[in-house]
Amino acid sequence: MMLNDAADDSVLGGYRLVRSLGRGGFGEVFLGEAEDGTRAAVKVLHASWAGDADMRRRFAAEVEQARRVSGFCVAAILDADPEGERPWIATEYIDGPTLQRAVAEEGPRRGVELQRLAVNTATALAAVHAAGVVHRDLKPDNIMLAPDGPRVIDFGIARAVETTSVTASGVVGTIGYMAPEQLEGARLTSAVDVFSWGAVMVYAATGEEAFQAPTQASRIARILGGTPDLGDLTEPLRGIVHRCLDKDPERRPDASALLTLLIAGPNGVTASGPVLPGASAAPTLVAPVVDPTRAAPAPVVDPTRVAPHHGADPTRSYTRFAPSRALPAAPSPASYTGPGAPVPAPPPYTAPGAAGGSARHTGIGGVPPYHFVGIRFTDPGALAEAMQGDWGAAVRVFGDATERAALGAWLMNDLGDTVVDRALFRRHADDANLALASFIAQLRPDLPPVFRGLGATLPELAALFSDPRPVITGAPRSNEMALLARPAVLRLMGLHHGADPGAYQRLADSLDTAEHAGNAFHQELTGGLAGWRAAVPNVNPALILTFLLHPERMTPPSNGGDNGVGEWIDILWRRVDASPGPVGVGHATAIYGALATLQALARQRRYWEERYTEVSTEHETLHAKVEQQQRFFRIRRYCNHALFCLPIGLVLDLSGRAEVLGGFLVSVAVLAFCASVVLSVVLRVGYGDPVRRGQRVMELNNAAARLPELTSGVERIRADLLHARRLTGG
């Protein structure tokens, strides 16, 4: 299922592809080397995508976006050929880790280092936005820490500011660093990058995400309605980051104002948040802080009352909450055909599940209308149907505290509705889409299920989740799938009438079980294997739902031509084979989410084993040569000592008392002299001068000192593989 291209040992645009630096769903990045020695990061589109016209267009757009951005603080583009047989782009090679890896391995940034990171990344953001570009996927993995400062990389899903109006199928980004409006599918501006910057700074300072949660569904809920966890982030940066993480994009500073706030230092922050130097306590460039969880004032209503007080004027409750606006003229009696079309006066409507006519809304007799997209509604059922048909406009109603309170007042006070859950209007809506879906399902369960404008019947879900590639590659459609693949959404869709009313509940339960099993499997690996301790869990509910709806798609991922990755997949997949049902699906999804970890482990293993082999071979070679060299040196030294036999032998021979012994000693001395001369020549020719021989001994000692660490590294990696086999029953 994964795209499988073997690494090319070839030349593209004058760059020789030396080795792979990383691999994604759409392409692979190689270390390229030009003839003059210049190094570049060469991103090559996968062969399987090269024939896709849309992918070529996106790749060409990436090149164009990168060229529009000034080269400081970003990875500058060097050359590109988006129209070639294998489209490629060469950017500045940055010799350094990503922020994600640096924090995972070295810990959070502190003090001046954190301030420098904040200013430099904000500068890069200002340059990106000055070029009319919205990055839309700013995250720690897309910030490289070069020796001369951080660089922002990967404009693969960037878009120009003037074309950032996205539809339901166009949500892109990385959950955890996405702004609420990205998740909601609203029109995007450069404010989404400011939100992402704030989330990145929290990770850099604390090592944790600002909206950390055990599951993806709960992370989404926290981003949409929860408060960020800023950890021990200190002022003045804390106040600036808090402003950047505001739910309302209008209240976030733009990149230029953000940079000014960072440069202003401690004087740029007040009790109500950061302000520009010289500004009053009520800043002019950044709106005052407003509690995003505070709803508009609601009328005092008896919570036990389900109908208006006796004698209450039914025309006042809604109108006093509705925003001041001119009412449109009454529509013609043409039939309602969609958002913006006129609607006739509806027939009497009986709320689903009501007995007799006790919850009947007549739509006549003085009941005030509710206005939605310029249309007058007196029947909540017709309103629910219209809202389902114009999801974008409806979600703005439920996302705005004042509008939601006005709708609640109309339903509860004016109509005396007894069907819709009061909590939809009396509590802060963490997720406006879920609130809207609940409203529609309670009033009109007879309608087919729809979520965020997408049909959500079981056949439609099966069709939407039939292809796992968007989830695996991170294509724009993947985040929309992730928003649908939540147990809470599935359970709401199950409230609509259908052939199998329990199917959604079973699917939601299976999704819950699978996600928890996947996270537990990942924790088991990170807790038991040394190489996994910094691995970030990535159990994608959209991929889980794909496998639940299409079990035949659940096959082991491709190893990408890397045998080391393949070995890990073979080991871990045994757990999938041993765990059928939702648990096995969760384990499979955890493996797919850990592919980046597997690739890193495979690279580490190759590095350590290659270095171990290299150093151990060097050690063996040096050891043999030094040993031989030392042996010859010792023999020559003995020969030099034997030269003392010459004077002794001469004395004995001349004295006449031991002529035989004297002659023998003289012969030994002569032979020792000859041997010493020969050995000196051998040492000089075969082993170098004394300085070189001394260096060889030092090299041997250095190799011997490195071997224990390399041996430990190799043994640790092999121990991880062995332990993984035990964990998976292999």
The residue from 5, 137, 246, 512 that is catalytic is 137
Determine phi and psi for 65, rounding to 5 degrees. Answer: -65, -45
C-alpha gyration radius of the chain: 36
Answer for the pair 82, 8: CB distance below 8 angstroms, yes or no: no
Residue 226 CB neighbours (<10 A): 18
**Rounded alpha-carbon distances, angstroms, from residue 437 to 58, 225, 431, 448, 494:** 33, 16, 10, 12, 11
407: Cα separation from own chain's centroid:
38
Structure tokens at 365: 């007799």
Is 43 one of the annotated binding-site residues?
yes
Among 594, 597, 600, CA closest to 576: 594
CA–CA gap between residue 729 and residue 725 (Å, rounded): 6
85: which residues sit within 8 A by CB, 6+ positions away? 50
Active site residue 137: yes
- The two tokens of residue 364 are 């006549």
* CA 540 from centroid of its chain's CA atoms: 11
Tally DSSP H helices, then E strands, for the chain.
26, 18
d(Cα 33, Cα 45) in Å, to the nearest integer? 18
**Other CB atoms within 10 Å distance of the CB of residue 1:** 14
d(CA 410, CA 637): 109
d(CA 232, CA 206): 7
Q: Closest Cα partner for 49 from 156, 208, 209, 142? A: 156
Q: Identify whether the C-beta of residue 243 lies closer than 8 Å to the C-beta of residue 258.
A: no
Positions marked active-site: 137
| Binding-site sequence positions for ATP | 43
| Binding-site sequence positions | 43
